[in-house]
Structure 1
Amino acid sequence: MEEIGEHVAPSEAALSVEQAVAAAERLGYPVLVRSAFALGGLGSGFANNKDELTSLVTSAFAHTSQVLVDKSLKGWKEIEYEVVRDAYDNCVTVCNMENIDPLGIHTGESIVVAPSQTLNDHEYNMLRNTAIKVIRHLGIVGECNIQYALNPESEQYYIIEVNARLSRSSALASKATGYPLAYVAAKLGLGIPLPQLKNSVTNSTTANFEPSLDYCVVKVPRWDLSKFLRVSTKIGSSMKSVGEVMAIGRSFEEAFQKALRMVDENCVGFDHTIKPVSEEELQTPTDKRIFVLASAFRAGYTVDQLYELTKIDRWFLHKMKNIADHERLLETYNQDESAMPPEVMRKAKQLGFSDKQIALAVQSTELVVRKLRHDWSILPVVKQIDTVAAEWPAFTNYLYLTYHGTEDDLSFADQHVMVIGSGVYRIGSSVEFDWCAVGCITELRKMGYKTIMVNYNPETVSTDYDMCDRLYFDEISFEVVMDIYERENPEGVILSMGGQLPNNIAMSLHRQQCRILGTSPEFIDCAENRFKFSRMLDTIGISQPQWKELSDTESAVKFCEKVGYPCLVRPSYVLSGAAMNVAYGDSDLEKYLSSAVAVSKEHPVVISKFIQEAKEIDVDAVACDGVVMAIAVSEHVENAGVHSGDATLVTPPQDLNQKTIERIKMIVHAIGQELQSPDRSTCS
């Protein structure tokens, strides 16, 4: 970098603890410690003194033989550029992104916006020109990611790092712009020049054309830290997130609130009720800091106060304040939503408020707000991502919904089949569900059907715009899926490929006469609702441990004492055993019940006797009209009590006799038949 007059953060490499301490003394505390050749900030962290440094470096040497000690730039802006270069020295900066969180939090842990929102024209072009100069000097052919630290008080900047490869940010940049980075990089590696590669979105411009965005994209990470006992919820230079979402809107507020709901379907948006104000948490970020900010605005903190505590740019804080202020305005129409002027509703939708969020503010229901919105013709419009800000027509249907617009970018004459994806990666839902959705789309297209995919995970194949006929990069919620359904009027909707998230909205869609393909919503509910499922097993004579639906803690304790601890607490409609726990006594039971009810507010919690020292068996089957067509039995190596996602499984089973296998198959056939017999169902 020095050869071309560029600057990197003051840094020294160290091969021992002693060398690291000496380097820190020369650089001056605080310092950032990083493991060399590590991914995701493994073994990294900030040290404010010698003791903290010694501890960090000692743990870092468990991963590597070399550590880097950098001068801390905490509080500076973090900016990223994605750049491609061909073997003939043609360069394009595909996307620039700005971390909302200041430097000190790994970019994979940060909320990120594209394009950057707070850079002026000079800063933007200064960093863009530097990115091109760096990629040329390093001789990179293909794609690279360059990260900067920019002083918020001046134009001083440092190059933090260059990834001479596709990075975690590359998937986000590809989906944010519609520019297929991996595809282009592969072609460039084969020696094909950028001007010869066609832009697959417009079919008229070339890949040697920088994308132009007439919308805003916000990425928010997903953490599952609540699954772990005694884990620190603080976030920093070492990654802990398990996935991320990407939201598209015509304003920052719209995309920002969409993204928060995408991360967690139980979150309504920029919600002040999730976490109380804590100045310590504002200064030392956690996975829930964004909701602490919402509480802080609610408590009357000013933008300047919050800037001093968080170092989040004032522009972003003003945008968040817009949301908090409008929520207060909505609350003035408490229990009289019809008195609300239509302009207030429209403004709320443009600020990213969901119907459910508005309903909570005015103490009404989602369906009442939805009807009111329809009566006032406040409806979203469908916009295309075209990479060229509408300078040329788009040939791919890469779509999103927005309330900033007056007309749709396309017509809705053709009939499609709609497939709902799996949403964000989390513990219990990863690439396997996405591949189910992609396999479903592929098969439908082979059969001659036109397809619609709804998903919002930038890391997935299902959100590649060439996998389906129409990709809606938007929320998987009752409101949004119904908005798309009403606009597209598809032949039907397939929920079963996307895992838990689509199943959770099955009954809400069904009540609005949405055509669900495959298992009917009533039978999905019968399988997902613990009470209905247990009652069904009793009715058709399939044995199960003693069970009881929760009504109150006192009766739950009596039941557990009657059947004897341990007992299993099981909420309905949950993924990967969320809030499912084995209670070994009254105190366990009370603690787990409050957690289970919070996770599954609208559904009953069932308590059943937990059988210890039992073998656990998994069965996967495919049925048509209740008749099982294929079946696979897997045996757990661990005893019951270890979640199947954490257990070691063997298929075919190695320690079951033929009689047991036949009994298992008989039970599966009986359940399959019962879940497809409306005339004699025991579910209702």
Structure 2
Amino acid sequence: HALRALAEQGFAGIAIDANSAGVTTDPGTPSIHFIEPQTAEAVLDAIDREKPDGAIVQFAGRTMLSLARAISSAGVPILGTSIEAIERVKNPARFADLVSKLGVPRAPSSFAVSADEALAAAERVGYPLLARAARRAGGQAAEIIYDAADFEAFVESGIEISSDRPLLVDRFIEGAIEVGVDVISDGETTLVCGVMEFIEQAGVHSGDSACSLPPYSLPDEIVEQIKDQACRIADEIGIKGLMSAQFAVRSPRVGAGSRIPTGHEVFLLEVNPRASRTVPFVSKATGIDWAGAATRVMLGRSLQDQGLTATPRPDLKSGGGSGGHVSVRETVFPFARFPNVDVVLGPEMKSTGEVMGIDENFGAAYIKAQLAAGQNLPDSGTAFVSVAGADKAEAVEIGRKLVELGFEVVATKNTANALREAGVKAGIVHKIGEGRPDAIDLIKNGRIDLIINTPSGKKPRMHEVTIRSAAVARGIPIVTTIAGARATLFGMEAIRTHRAEVRALHEYT
């Protein structure tokens, strides 16, 4: 999209990417492709050869942002957001000052440039915390840590901590919903491209979580608060082009039948002065080429001149509804190709692709996305439920909904007892090694149609991994978080009353 926009303005684009599929363009788009890694040596070599008039670093992740200074030093102007603005965001101390100046709530956070500083930072922030290495893509070297002993082991695991690669330490907000926002600005006008509610709870890498645009459960006032904060941050930074931000929404009092009832708290998690991986999804969901619009901004055209003066229609009302539509992005994983690999999600990204479902309501859109991702959900049969102790109370809601949908529920002893005590009919299945038939026997014999299995802790027990791996090997749909299970059942219920139709994308947007 950026290359096409450059061509429209009379420029030939130069793309540098180690993945040839990542720079595939229409034959009619004049462009030059370098199939090279995004290293300083490769980028500077391409600059020396092609002598470009400018460089766009917003569409290549955090790697190219880190090379902006080197590119500028080679005599090539950085188009769009300035280097000074980029460095203000990427420097932990300066960014903390920026957030404090705006009065945007943020979870307790700190950073360290040495192992000794890291231990002190963790004590200041408190547990549980999310520790992650700065400037590492895909959530690499990231971990949720619950006590000092585990944090010390993490620091001593060989992770690099230095002034060039500080360790970021943030308080982990348990049970929070993560929200992603894509923003575009030309320096005068700032617009929200889209607000996405991630299905999986905060702590799962956003690249691995399904998400809904517009949000399907957040109150409109919370969405408006998030949009306002994102725009104020973009204006303060001086964004010219695209920016992404992540927020966490937590409620201290969760009532029956509502995911976020009262007393909401919104916390800023992260800001990136670049395009996020959700921009292609947001463009399809809203019918607007945001990458192209941002490219034209970097070349000097205002948003108003491009006819972009307001937030696009699908984001006007949370959850879609009359006259609108809901789009759901779902991720695709390679687990079926790797036997015995655990499918549980966490801070480190594991997905290798993504698909999209779109319909008039969240449930139908979610089911379409699941089907596209290869998750062929059953409409009846036997559901096996086995959850961690902390999830027992919420498992009751899941079990009751499964029964309402006509499923027979079977569970391991402790989960089954929790369900029965709440009046939910559930059969008992032996744990592996404690009797037969166990869950693996039922899976092998084709007697399980759906599995809901949340990990018991940071280091899952071997029998849990065995169950999850066996399910993947046999193509049995498996959900590993309560949030994911809730969304799945919501979709399965919705599809029974709303017939999903196949329609062209442009009919929605």
TM over 0.5: yes
Q: Match for residue 160 of structure 1? A: 269
Residues 111, 276 of structure 1: alpha-carbon distance in 2 compared, 3 angstrom cutoff: same
Deviations, residues 491-545 of structure 1 (Å, cap 9, x unaligned): xxxxxxxxxxxxxxxxxxxxxxxxxxxxxxxxxxxxxxxxxxxxxxxxxxxxxxx
Q: Which amino acid aligns with 1:253?
A: G
Q: Of 350, 367, 383, which residue of structure 1 is paired with 2:498? A: 350
Would you say how many aligned residue pairs link Structure 1 and Structure 2? 321
SS in structure 2 at match of 1:255: helix
Q: Of 6, 12, 25, which residue of structure 1 is paired with 2:110? A: 12
Q: Match for residue 227 of structure 2? A: 128
Deviations, residues 560-590 of structure 1 (Å, cap 9, x unaligned): xxxxxxxxxxxxxxxxxxxxxxxxxxxxxxx
Greater length-normalized contact order (CA 8 Å, ≥ 6 residues apart): 2
Matches for 1:466-545 after TM superposition, within 5 Å: none
Q: Is the 8 A contact 1:34 1:45 kept in 2?
A: yes
Q: Match for residue 39 of structure 1? A: 137
| Residue 261 of structure 1, CA deviation | 1.0
Q: Of 115, 120, 124, which residue of structure 2 is paired with 1:22? A: 120
Q: Of 269, 273, 296, which residue of structure 2 is paired with 1:187? A: 296
Matches for 1:434-449 after TM superposition, within 5 Å: none
Q: Match for residue 99 of structure 1? A: 198
Q: Is the 8 A contact 2:391 2:482 kept in 1?
A: no
Distance (whole Å) between structure 2 residues aligned to residue 274 and residue 257 of structure 1: 19
Percent of paired sites with the same residue: 26
Q: Is the 8 A contact 2:383 2:408 kept in 1?
A: no
Q: Is the 8 A contact 1:15 1:67 kept in 2?
A: yes
Q: Match for residue 431 of structure 2? A: none
| Residue 232 of structure 1, CA deviation | 3.0
Bigger-Rg structure (1/2): 1
| Residue 321 of structure 1, CA deviation | 4.0
| Residue 281 of structure 1, CA deviation | 10
Q: Of 333, 345, 360, which residue of structure 2 is paired with 1:223? A: 333
| Residue 69 of structure 1, CA deviation | 1.2
Q: Of 341, 354, 361, which residue of structure 2 is paired with 1:251? A: 361
| Residue 313 of structure 1, CA deviation | 6.3
| Residue 227 of structure 1, CA deviation | 2.3
Residues 30, 196 of structure 1: alpha-carbon distance in 2 compared, 3 angstrom cutoff: same
Q: Match for residue 310 of structure 2? A: 209
SS in structure 1 at match of 2:200: coil
Q: Match for residue 71 of structure 1? A: 171
| Residue 320 of structure 1, CA deviation | 4.4
Q: Is the 8 A contact 1:33 1:70 kept in 2?
A: yes
Distance (whole Å) between structure 1 residues aligned to residue 333 and residue 389 of structure 2: 16
Q: Which amino acid aligns with 2:133?
A: S
Distance (whole Å) between structure 1 residues aligned to residue 345 and residue 325 of structure 2: 29
Q: Of 155, 159, 164, which residue of structure 2 is paired with 1:61? A: 159
Distance (whole Å) between structure 2 residues aligned to residue 92 and residue 171 of structure 1: 17
SS in structure 2 at match of 1:101: strand
| Residue 44 of structure 1, CA deviation | 0.3
Q: Which amino acid aligns with 1:212?
A: R
| Residue 129 of structure 1, CA deviation | 0.9
Residues 281, 238 of structure 1: alpha-carbon distance in 2 compared, 3 angstrom cutoff: farther
Distance (whole Å) between structure 2 residues aligned to residue 323 and residue 117 of structure 1: 12
| Residue 325 of structure 1, CA deviation | 5.6
Q: Of 343, 348, 354, which residue of structure 2 is paired with 1:233? A: 343
| Residue 323 of structure 1, CA deviation | 5.3
Distance (whole Å) between structure 2 residues aligned to residue 276 and residue 233 of structure 1: 16
Q: Does 1:80 align with 2:180?
A: yes
| Residue 295 of structure 1, CA deviation | 6.5
Q: Is the 8 A contact 2:335 2:341 kept in 1?
A: yes
SS in structure 2 at match of 1:40: helix
Deviations, residues 319-369 of structure 1 (Å, cap 9, x unaligned): 64455568xxxxxxxxxxxxxxxxxxxx737254xxxxxxxxxxxxxxxxx
Task: Output the TM-score relative to the length of structure 1.
Answer: 0.43
Matches for 1:237-636 after TM superposition, within 5 Å: 237-264=347-374, 267-269=375-377, 276-280=384-388, 283=391, 298-299=407-408, 317=486, 320-321=488-489, 348=496, 350=498, 352=500, 380=501, 382=503, 398-399=506-507
SS in structure 1 at match of 2:355: strand
Deviations, residues 165-200 of structure 1 (Å, cap 9, x unaligned): 111111211111111111011011112111111xxx
Residues 125, 116 of structure 1: alpha-carbon distance in 2 compared, 3 angstrom cutoff: same
- Structure 2 residue runs of 5 or longer lacking an equivalent are 1-98, 253-262, 315-323, 393-397, 410-418, 425-451, 456-479
Residues 268, 233 of structure 1: alpha-carbon distance in 2 compared, 3 angstrom cutoff: closer
| Residue 157 of structure 1, CA deviation | 1.5
Deviations, residues 255-314 of structure 1 (Å, cap 9, x unaligned): 1111111111xx433667697312139959xxxxxx9999787356699999x9998669
Distance (whole Å) between structure 1 residues aligned to residue 137 and residue 243 of structure 2: 15
Distance (whole Å) between structure 1 residues aligned to residue 491 and residue 309 of structure 2: 39
* Residue range with higher mean Cα deviation, 49-58 or 231-240: 49-58
Residues 238, 274 of structure 1: alpha-carbon distance in 2 compared, 3 angstrom cutoff: farther
- Structure 1 residue runs of 5 or longer lacking an equivalent are 198-205, 285-290, 327-346, 353-379, 386-397, 401-464, 466-684
Distance (whole Å) between structure 1 residues aligned to residue 207 and residue 389 of structure 2: 19
Residues 109, 273 of structure 1: alpha-carbon distance in 2 compared, 3 angstrom cutoff: farther
SS in structure 1 at match of 2:137: coil
Q: Is the 8 A contact 1:219 1:244 kept in 2?
A: yes
Deviations, residues 651-680 of structure 1 (Å, cap 9, x unaligned): xxxxxxxxxxxxxxxxxxxxxxxxxxxxxx
Q: Match for residue 245 of structure 2? A: 146
Residues 304, 292 of structure 1: alpha-carbon distance in 2 compared, 3 angstrom cutoff: closer
Distance (whole Å) between structure 2 residues aligned to residue 140 and residue 212 of structure 1: 23
Residues 295, 237 of structure 1: alpha-carbon distance in 2 compared, 3 angstrom cutoff: farther
Q: Match for residue 148 of structure 2? A: 50
Q: Which amino acid aligns with 2:205?
A: H
Distance (whole Å) between structure 1 residues aligned to residue 492 and residue 278 of structure 2: 30
Residues 58, 247 of structure 1: alpha-carbon distance in 2 compared, 3 angstrom cutoff: farther
Q: Which amino acid aligns with 1:255?
A: A
Q: Is the 8 A contact 1:30 1:47 kept in 2?
A: yes
